[in-house]
């Protein structure tokens, strides 16, 4: 619509500006022609009256009375001022004042008189009058004898000058200009209506495609664009979108099948291996064999943990709608689950903070807490604090321990999959923080890892809040 409006404005201005200028010139030309005609008629009538008296000598009382009477009569006819000058430009009659008689009107400010006397031809000038304070049209025509022989050179006996205000002409031109502007605005509005209709015809199928893409991205894998209409390119785009959605649905369904099959196919043999190893450990009396079997049992446990976490990560392609979760309540449930494990490892877990409602999935939040508490108990057994709160319009959850902390050079990479910091014993899978990061970012949150002033590690989760009034704190 902006492009269409730009083109319309350029076209309208290109057409209407020259048209308005031409109309103004034409109006002025018509007024000037009419004024010249009136002035010539006045000059001819005046010469007839003067010649009928037998004398055209300016200064003669009879001639002066004839001039005064004529200019007064024609003043009403032309609707302006009538001035008669002699061949030298000296005023001999003025319809509006006798005080100007004898003044020289052949001045640069009145070029029409000099042109008419010098060229023996009519001349019209449009200008602003400082004396009157308005635009005027001044027309001067020469006074010539009414009868001359073919061989005589026309003699200039003087000139007749009439001045008329241009207010009426300017008003007419202004009305015409405003009319053109109104036509232009109407044309622009009509063009914009057409442009809006065209824009809708293009945007409607694109909006439909956008809606379909959002639904597909939110997890509705059966979404298809279908028939959208519109231009050929848009129809082809819709077809490509449906093909992509079809392939994506097939891929996700295969992923779901993999998750389901892997749960049965991997966990069952791992459970069987663990039971056999436990039986073998109890049955053997050889300490060397026992140590090897116990190491193998730990590797099986580690493998089972890796399988569980890989399955969690594989399920993240299935995004579900968010809900309102009380973070403090989830923390209390997690502490209950990990209390025994913490005591066995020589650690203590404390929860502080108040209720904080977040837009999150409860199962994902439980998974995050399990991973963070598992890391804290495994790598920094001791005092562990789980804190919740709300600030700057977001809910935050922090797990802080008093362990050796994470090296600065490793802090930016510990949330990468399978990355393990230098100097860390190979007891974990390297997936815990990676899973935390993916689950948090899935719901629009963020993870920040810092080192408290008194040593240790603080992992802070910042989540979107559910605006449900003021949250209480304790």
Q: What is the 3-state secondary structure (H, E, C) of 121-172?
A: CCEEEEEEECCCCEEEEEEEEEECCCCCCCCCCCCCCEEEEEEEECHHHHHH
Domain assignment present for residue 395? The answer is yes
pLDDT single digits (tens) 174-202? 888 888 889 888 988 998 888 888 888 77
Predicted pLDDT at 317? 47
Lookup result for tokens 């802070």: 460
Averaged over 239-256, what is the pLDDT?
A: 85
User: What pairs with residue 129 in β-bridges?
Assistant: 134
Instruction: Tell me the pLDDT band of 438, cut-offs 50, 70 and 90.
Output: confident
Tokens of 92: 């001999």
CB atoms within 10 A of CB 262: 14
Tokens of 338: 């990990």
Q: Which of 102-111, 305-314, 321-330 is predicted least confidently?
A: 305-314
Return the closest-CA partner of residue 192 out of 6, 10, 11.
6
Nearest-10 Cα torsion for 102, 106, 107, 111: 140
Q: Which of 263-277, 310-324, 351-365, 425-439 is predicted least confidently?
A: 310-324
Which one of 173, 196, 213 terminates a domain?
Answer: 173
326 with 356: CB under 8 angstroms?
A: yes
Domain assignment present for residue 233? The answer is no
65 with 49: CB under 8 angstroms?
A: no
Contacts of 374 (CB under 8 A, 6+ apart): 338, 432
Q: Which of 229-243, 341-355, 424-438 is predicted least confidently?
A: 424-438
Return the closest-CA partner of residue 110 out of 142, 79, 138, 75.
138
Domain assignment present for residue 375? The answer is yes
- Is residue 172's pLDDT more than 60? yes
Tokens of 237: 């785009």
- Is residue 240's pLDDT more than 70? yes
- Is residue 424's pLDDT more than 60? no
For 39, the domain range is 2-173
Averaged over 2-8, what is the pLDDT?
A: 86
Averaged over 374-386, what is the pLDDT?
A: 86
Domain assignment present for residue 188? The answer is no
Comparing 394 with 454, the larger pLDDT belongs to 394
- Is residue 167's pLDDT more than 50? yes
Which one of 126, 142, 173 terminates a domain?
Answer: 173
The Cα 110–Cα 131 span in angstroms is 12
The Cα 367–Cα 437 span in angstroms is 11
* DSSP three-state, residue 86: coil
CB atoms within 10 A of CB 377: 21
How many folded domains does the chain comprise?
A: 2
Comparing 442 with 413, the larger pLDDT belongs to 442
Return the closest-CA partner of residue 382 out of 356, 415, 349, 352.
349
Domain assignment present for residue 473? The answer is no
CATH number reported for the structural domain that contains residue 94 in this entry: 3.30.450.20
The Cα 382–Cα 335 span in angstroms is 15
Which one of 173, 207, 240 terminates a domain?
Answer: 173
Domain assignment present for residue 434? The answer is yes
Domain assignment present for residue 340? The answer is yes
312 with 435: CB under 8 angstroms?
A: yes
Largest CA distance in the chain: 163
Domain assignment present for residue 86? The answer is yes
CATH number reported for the structural domain that contains residue 339 in this entry: 3.30.565.10
């Amino acid at each position: 619509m902006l492009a269409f409006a730009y083109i319309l404005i350029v076209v309208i201005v290109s057409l209407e500006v020259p048209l308005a200028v031409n109309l103004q010139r034409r109006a002025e030309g018509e007024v000037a022609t009419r004024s010249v005609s009136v002035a010539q008629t006045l000059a001819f009538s005046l010469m007839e009256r003067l010649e009928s008296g037998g004398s055209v000598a300016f200064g003669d009382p009879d001639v002066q009375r004839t001039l005064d009477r004529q200019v007064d009569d024609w003043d009403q006819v032309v609707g302006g001022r009538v001035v008669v000058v002699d061949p030298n430009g000296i005023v001999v009659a003025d319809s509006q004042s006798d005080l100007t008689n004898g003044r020289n009107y052949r001045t640069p400010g009145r070029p029409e008189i000099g042109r008419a006397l010098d060229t023996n031809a009519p001349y019209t000038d449009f200008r602003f009058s400082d004396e009157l304070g308005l635009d005027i049209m001044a027309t001067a025509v020469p006074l010539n004898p009414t009868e001359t022989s073919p061989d005589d050179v026309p003699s200039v006996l003087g000139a007749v000058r009439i001045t008329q205000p241009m207010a009426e002409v300017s008003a007419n031109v202004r009305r015409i200009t405003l009319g053109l502007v109104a036509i232009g605005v109407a044309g622009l509005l009509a063009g914009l209506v057409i442009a809006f209709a065209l824009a809708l015809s293009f945007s409607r199928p694109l909006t439909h495609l956008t809606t379909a893409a959002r639904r597909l991205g939110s997890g509705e894998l059966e979404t298809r664009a279908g028939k959208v209409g519109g231009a050929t390119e848009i129809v082809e785009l819709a077809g490509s979108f449906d093909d992509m959605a079809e392939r994506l649905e097939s891929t996700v369904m295969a992923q779901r099948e993999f998750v389901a099959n892997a749960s049965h196919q991997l966990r069952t043999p791992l459970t069987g291996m663990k039971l056999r190893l436990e039986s073998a450990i109890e049955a053997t009396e050889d300490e060397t064999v026992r140590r090897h079997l116990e190491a193998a049992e730990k590797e099986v446990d580690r493998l089972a943990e890796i399988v569980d976490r890989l399955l969690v990560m594989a399920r993240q392609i299935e995004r579900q709608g968010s809900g309102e979760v009380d973070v403090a309540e989830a923390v209390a449930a997690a502490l209950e689950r990990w209390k025994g494990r913490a005591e066995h490892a020589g650690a203590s877990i404390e929860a502080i903070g108040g209720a904080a409602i977040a837009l999150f999935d409860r199962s994902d939040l439980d998974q995050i807490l399990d991973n963070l508490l598992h890391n804290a108990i495994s790598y920094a057994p001791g005092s562990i604090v789980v804190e919740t709160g709300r600030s700057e319009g977001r809910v935050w959850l922090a797990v802080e321990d008093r362990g050796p902390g994470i090296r600065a050079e490793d802090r930016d990479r510990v949330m990468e999959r399978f990355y393990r910091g230098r100097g860390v014993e190979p007891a974990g899978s390297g997936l815990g923080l990676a899973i935390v990061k993916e689950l948090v970012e899935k719901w629009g949150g963020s993870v920040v890892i810092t080192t408290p002033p008194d040593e240790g590690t603080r992992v802070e989760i910042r989540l979107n809040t559910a605006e449900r009034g003021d949250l209480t704190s304790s």
